């Protein structure tokens, strides 16, 4: 409504204003005759979605009803119904302008299934590691890779789909952070742990897998429920709170893993590049790992 004209004459409130709705510009007006005398100066407060009119009684006694008429004035009722109808029409027009995706149900079903599978996979990892920790204690640290590695390989390989989903616009997640997380974990899992048997029995593997699984226990069900328009507030709180301690702890475990692998790569010369030149210069793979340490530190800060 624009330019509302509101006056009170002889205990009758006169309302007149111009408004723009589904049918274009219109003049809206109505009158309310109060049951008993009121102050002639109403107080108006305009907000973005509504107009509040406050009318003060002349005497602070109890009224049986607001108006002299026993029923609500038809003009006011019609105005309210008319505004609600226009709001409904406007909403329908806005929705009709948005092109409908014929594959939206298929996409939604795919995202629900993807997040469900990842949630089940990481749940299995977390429960398995927790049970082994209670039963075996510290001894479970040394064979984590051999008992959990296959499932972690499956979940991390499947995580490549997150890059594709972001790349084709299937999800709103930004591409760069997604690529950094997926390739960062894949580098730790496949290149360092997967290629060095000496690293597979180190306790740091337990902490890497444990922190990864706990983070995903909240992230994937949150995404799964979001796909079907459900918000569970405790899960939302955990999704955006649990990562605050877990994310740096996971990054610290990954950094320890890289540091522990550097002497092994130097000793074995694995993945080192020997250049055919008179100086016989060799580019050690450990140099790349040191760069990865710096990138890991910067990535955790930026994310």
Q: What secondary structure does DSSP assign to 168-222, as a single string?
A: TTSS-S-HHHHHHHHHHHHIIIIIIIHH-HHHHTSTHHHHHHHHHHHHHHHHHHH
**Contact call for residues 51 and 4 (beta carbons, < 8 A):** yes
**How is the chain split among helix, strand and coil, in percent rounded to 5?**
60, 15, 25
Burial class (CB in 10 A: 0-12, 13-18, 19+), 155: buried
Q: Chain-centre distance of CA 151, in angstroms?
A: 26
Q: Which residues pair with residue 18 across a beta bridge?
A: 2, 27
Whether 80 is covered by a domain: the verdict is no
Q: What angle do CA 126, 129, 131 make, to 5 degrees?
A: 105
Query: What is the model's pLDDT at position 72?
Result: 55
pLDDT tens for the chain, residues 1 to 303: 777 888 888 888 888 888 776 667 788 888 888 888 888 888 888 776 677 888 888 887 887 777 777 665 555 556 665 666 667 766 766 666 666 777 788 989 999 999 999 999 999 999 999 999 999 999 999 999 999 999 999 999 999 999 999 998 888 888 888 898 899 899 999 999 999 999 999 999 999 999 999 999 999 999 999 988 888 899 999 988 988 899 889 989 999 999 999 999 888 888 877 766 566 677 788 888 888 888 777 766 555
| Whether 27 and 137 share a structural domain | no
Q: Which residues pair with residue 16 across a beta bridge?
A: 5, 29
Query: What is the model's pLDDT at position 125?
Result: 97
Query: What is the model's pLDDT at position 80?
Result: 63
Query: What is the model's pLDDT at position 162?
Result: 94
| Whether 179 and 219 share a structural domain | yes
Q: Quote the number of domains for the chain.
A: 2
Whether 78 is covered by a domain: the verdict is no
| Whether 111 and 195 share a structural domain | yes
| Whether 62 and 118 share a structural domain | no
| Whether 56 and 133 share a structural domain | no
Whether 95 is covered by a domain: the verdict is no
Neighbour tally for 123: CB within 10 Å: 15
Query: What is the model's pLDDT at position 78?
Result: 61
Question: How many CA atoms does the CB half-sphere of 237 hold within 13 Å?
Answer: 3
The tokens of 103 are what?
């594959």
| Whether 201 and 110 share a structural domain | yes
Write the CATH number for 46.
2.60.40.790
| Spatial separation of the C-alpha atoms in residues 176 and 163, rounded to whole Å | 9
- Which one, of 257, 273, 272, lies nearest residue 184 by Cα? 257
Could you tell me where the DSSP H helices lie in the chain?
74-97, 104-136, 144-158, 160-167, 175-186, 194-195, 197-200, 204-227, 233-241, 243-268, 285-302
Whether 222 is covered by a domain: the verdict is yes
| Whether 191 and 246 share a structural domain | yes
Query: What is the model's pLDDT at position 95?
Result: 64
Query: What is the model's pLDDT at position 71?
Result: 60
Whether 150 is covered by a domain: the verdict is yes
Angle between helices 204-227 and 104-136 (to 10 degrees): 150
Whether 37 is covered by a domain: the verdict is yes
**Contact call for residues 101 and 192 (beta carbons, < 8 A):** no
Query: What is the model's pLDDT at position 126?
Result: 97
- Which one, of 190, 178, 189, 280, lies nearest residue 219 by Cα? 178
**Contact call for residues 282 and 270 (beta carbons, < 8 A):** no
Query: What is the model's pLDDT at position 215?
Result: 93
Domain that holds residue 34: 2-73
The helix/strand/coil state of 61 is coil
| Whether 222 and 286 share a structural domain | yes
254 is catalytic: yes
Q: Chain-centre distance of CA 262, in angstroms?
A: 37
Whether 98 is covered by a domain: the verdict is no
Active-site entry in 28, 142, 247, 271: 247
Whole-model pTM: value is: 0.66
**Contact call for residues 27 and 47 (beta carbons, < 8 A):** no
Active-site entry in 162, 216, 222, 254: 254
Please say which residue of 73, 93, 121 terminates a domain.
73
**Contact call for residues 119 and 216 (beta carbons, < 8 A):** yes
| Whether 167 and 253 share a structural domain | yes
142 is catalytic: no
Whether 184 is covered by a domain: the verdict is yes
């Amino acid at each position: 409504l624009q330019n509302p004209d509101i006056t009170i004459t002889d205990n009758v409130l006169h309302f007149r204003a111009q408004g723009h709705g589904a049918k274009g510009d219109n003049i809206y007006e109505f009158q309310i005759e109060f049951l008993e005398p009121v102050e002639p100066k109403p107080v108006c407060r305009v907000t973005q979605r509504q107009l509040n009119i406050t009318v003060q009684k002349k005497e602070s006694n109890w009224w049986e009803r607001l108006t002299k008429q026993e029923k609500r004035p038809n003009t006011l009722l019609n105005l309210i119904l008319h505004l609600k109808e226009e709001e409904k029409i406007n909403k329908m027009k806005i929705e009709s302008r948005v092109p409908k995706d014929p594959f939206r149900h298929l996409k939604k079903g795919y995202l629900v299934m993807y997040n469900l599978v990842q949630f089940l996979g990481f749940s299995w990892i977390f429960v398995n590691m927790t049970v082994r920790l209670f039963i075996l204690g510290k001894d479970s640290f040394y064979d984590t890779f051999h008992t959990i590695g296959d499932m972690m390989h499956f979940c991390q390989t499947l995580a490549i789909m997150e890059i594709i989903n972001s790349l084709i616009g299937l999800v709103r997640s930004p591409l760069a952070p997604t690529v950094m997380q997926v390739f960062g974990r894949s580098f730790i899992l496949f290149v360092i742990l997967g290629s060095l048997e000496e690293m597979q029995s180190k306790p740091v593997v337990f902490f890497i897998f444990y922190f990864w699984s706990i983070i995903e226990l909240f992230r994937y069900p949150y995404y799964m429920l979001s796909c079907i328009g459900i918000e569970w507030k405790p899960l939302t709180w955990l999704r955006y709170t649990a990562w605050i301690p877990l994310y740096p702890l996971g990054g610290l475990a990954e950094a320890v893993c890289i540091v522990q692998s550097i002497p092994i790569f130097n000793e074995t010369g694995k993945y080192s590049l020997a250049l055919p030149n008179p100086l016989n210069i060799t580019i050690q793979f450990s140099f790349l790992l040191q760069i990865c340490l710096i990138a890991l530190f910067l990535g955790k800060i930026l994310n």
